Structure 1
Amino acid sequence: MRMPTPRPLVADTLIALTVTSAAVRLGQSSVAQGWPELDTNAYALLALAHLPVALRRRAPLVVFAVVQVTGVAYIGLGYWPVASAFGSMLALATVASVYPTWIAVGCAAVMTAKWVYAGVISDKLSLGLVVGQALLFCSVLVWSGTLVRRSRELTEQLRLEQAERARREVTAERGRIARELHDVVAHHMSVISVQAGLARFVLGSDAETARTALGTIESTSTEALEELRRILEVLREHDLGGPESAAPMPTLTRLNDLLQRVRAGGVRVELSIQGIARPLPPGVELCAYRVVQEALTNVLKHTRHADAHVRLEYTQQELTVSVIDDGEGVIPARVPSGGGHGLMGMRERAKLYGGTISVGPRAEGGFAVRLTLPTSTTAARWRDELKG
Structure 2
Amino acid sequence: MRIHPRAVDGLTALVATAVAALLGAEAAARGWPPPDPAAWTLVALANLSLAVRGRAPLGVFLFVHLCWIAYVALGHWPVVGAPAAMVALYTVAATRSARTAAVCAVLLGGTWVCAGVAGGSGAFGARASLVGQGVGCPLVLWRFGQVARRAAELTVRLRAEQAERARREVAGERVRIARELHDVIAHHMAVITIQAGLARFVLDTDTRTARQALTTVGAAGGEALAELRRMLGLLRAEGAEGVGGTGGTCGLREGGPATEPAPGLDRLEELVERVRAGGVHVGVRIRGASRPLPPGVQLCVYRVVQEALTNVLKHAPGARADVELVYRTDELAVSVTDDGGNRARTAGTGGHGLIGMRERAKLYDGTIAVGPRREGGFGVHLTLPTPPPEQAARRGGAVTE
Normalised TM-score (structure 1)? 0.53
1:159 maps to which residue? 159
How big is the shift at 1:88? 0.4
Taking the aligned partners of 1:8 and 1:67, their CA distance within structure 2 comes to: 20
Asked if the contact 1:104–1:142 (Cα under 8 Å) also holds between the matched residues in 2, the reply is: yes
How big is the shift at 1:16? 1.6
2:184 maps to which residue? 184
How big is the shift at 1:220? 12
2:84 maps to which residue? 87
How big is the shift at 1:82? 1.0
Q: Does 1:25 align with 2:19?
A: no
Taking the aligned partners of 2:57 and 2:158, their CA distance within structure 1 comes to: 26
How big is the shift at 1:225? 5.0
Unaligned residue ranges in structure 2 (runs of 5+): 235-252, 262-349, 356-401
Asked if the contact 2:188–2:220 (Cα under 8 Å) also holds between the matched residues in 1, the reply is: no
Unaligned residue ranges in structure 1 (runs of 5+): 237-288, 298-383
How big is the shift at 1:117? 0.7
How big is the shift at 1:52? 1.2
How big is the shift at 1:103? 0.8
1:258 maps to which residue? none
Residues 76 and 124 of structure 1: is their aligned pair in 2 closer, same or farther, counting only changes over 3 Å?
same
Question: Aligned AA for 1:187?
Answer: H
Q: Does 1:55 align with 2:43?
A: no
Taking the aligned partners of 1:295 and 1:146, their CA distance within structure 2 comes to: 63
Taking the aligned partners of 2:77 and 2:211, their CA distance within structure 1 comes to: 103
Question: Aligned AA for 2:130?
Answer: V
1:150 maps to which residue? 150
Question: Aligned AA for 1:63?
Answer: V
How big is the shift at 1:218? 4.3
1:64 maps to which residue? 61
Residues 137 and 10 of structure 1: is their aligned pair in 2 closer, same or farther, counting only changes over 3 Å?
same
How big is the shift at 1:216? 11
Asked if the contact 2:169–2:352 (Cα under 8 Å) also holds between the matched residues in 1, the reply is: no
What secondary structure sits across from 2:257 in the alignment? helix
1:128 maps to which residue? 128
Report 1:1-388 matches (<5 A).
7-124=4-121, 126-205=126-205, 207=206, 211=209, 218=216, 292-294=256-258
1:71-121 deviation per Cα after TM superposition (whole angstroms, max 9, x unaligned): 122223332111110110010111111111111111001001101212332
Taking the aligned partners of 1:41 and 1:385, their CA distance within structure 2 comes to: 63
1:208-228 deviation per Cα after TM superposition (whole angstroms, max 9, x unaligned): 9x94995798499679959x7
Asked if the contact 2:6–2:52 (Cα under 8 Å) also holds between the matched residues in 1, the reply is: yes
1:129-149 deviation per Cα after TM superposition (whole angstroms, max 9, x unaligned): 112112221122122222222
Taking the aligned partners of 2:158 and 2:211, their CA distance within structure 1 comes to: 58
Residues 201 and 157 of structure 1: is their aligned pair in 2 closer, same or farther, counting only changes over 3 Å?
same
Taking the aligned partners of 1:198 and 1:10, their CA distance within structure 2 comes to: 75
What secondary structure sits across from 1:38 in the alignment? coil
Taking the aligned partners of 2:192 and 2:9, their CA distance within structure 1 comes to: 72
Asked if the contact 2:196–2:214 (Cα under 8 Å) also holds between the matched residues in 1, the reply is: no
Identity of aligned pairs, percent? 41
How big is the shift at 1:49? 2.5
Taking the aligned partners of 2:169 and 2:3, their CA distance within structure 1 comes to: 35
Asked if the contact 1:198–1:213 (Cα under 8 Å) also holds between the matched residues in 2, the reply is: no
Residues 175 and 54 of structure 1: is their aligned pair in 2 closer, same or farther, counting only changes over 3 Å?
same
Taking the aligned partners of 1:203 and 1:295, their CA distance within structure 2 comes to: 25
Asked if the contact 1:187–1:294 (Cα under 8 Å) also holds between the matched residues in 2, the reply is: yes
